[in-house]
Amino acid sequence: MTQSEMKHCWLQARESGDYSAVIAAIPYARTIGMQMHVDAGEPRFVLPFAQSNIGNVLLPALHGGVIGGFLETAAILTLLTATETAGIPKVVDFSIDYLRSGRPVDLYARCEIVRQGKRVANVLMSAWQEDPQKPVASARAHFLLS
């Protein structure tokens, strides 16, 4: 997929409010099965429970890497929503705190762009299950904007 195709896909999603084609265009996002919608201008993310995202079969619990990848993708899509470019931001560093084990139910996420400059952006991410006040993980990252 070229950058102009990606941009077209993104603009269509923005107009229609249906972001499924954007997710489908990012193979990793499709593999973990995440979804995106925009609620009053705020991007919201859901990772419906899937057996293939389990990393601990004894508890059972979602794989920590999946929670990290979900949050990282959520941050990238939040940045794409906030900027005019369609180039995918490059992650510079990513730091995640695991606060609770991810139970085998749906996982939600939201992101906050703390600071966005011309070249770099700082984003905070939070993931939760039933209660937004009881996060499963929180993360922060820097991205290079392209």
Partner 1 sequence: MSVRNAVFFEQLQRWFMTLPHCQVLGLEYVEADAGSVVLRLPYSEAIVGNPETGVVHGGAVTTLIDTASGTCIYTLFDAPESVATLDLRIDYLRPASVGEAILCRAECYRLTSQIAFTRAIAYQGEREIAHGVGTFMRTQVGAA
| Dihedral-angle region of residue 88 (phi above 0 means left; psi in -120 to 50 means alpha; beta otherwise) | beta
The closest alpha carbon to 78, from 108, 43, 46, 27, belongs to 43
Q: How far is the CB of 72 from partner 1 (least distance, A)?
A: 5
Amino acid making up residue 20: S
Question: CA 6 to CA 9: how far, in whole Å?
Answer: 5
Contact by Cβ (8 Å): 56, 69: no
Residues shown for the chain = 146
Q: How far is the CB of 112 from partner 1 (least distance, A)?
A: 19
Question: CA 86 to CA 123: how far, in whole Å?
Answer: 18
Residue from 8, 38, 82, 94 binding partner 1 (CB under 8 A): 94
Nearest residue (CB) to partner 1, 32 versus 81: 32
107 is an interface residue for partner 1 by CB under 8 A = no
Interface mask toward partner 1 for 41-60; x: CB under 8 A: ----------xxxxxxxxx-
104 is an interface residue for partner 1 by CB under 8 A = no
26 is an interface residue for partner 1 by CB under 8 A = yes
What is the total count of residues that contact partner 1 (CB under 8 A)? 43
Per CB under 8 A, residues contacting partner 1 are 1-3, 6, 25-32, 51-59, 62-66, 68-70, 72-73, 87-88, 90-98, 101
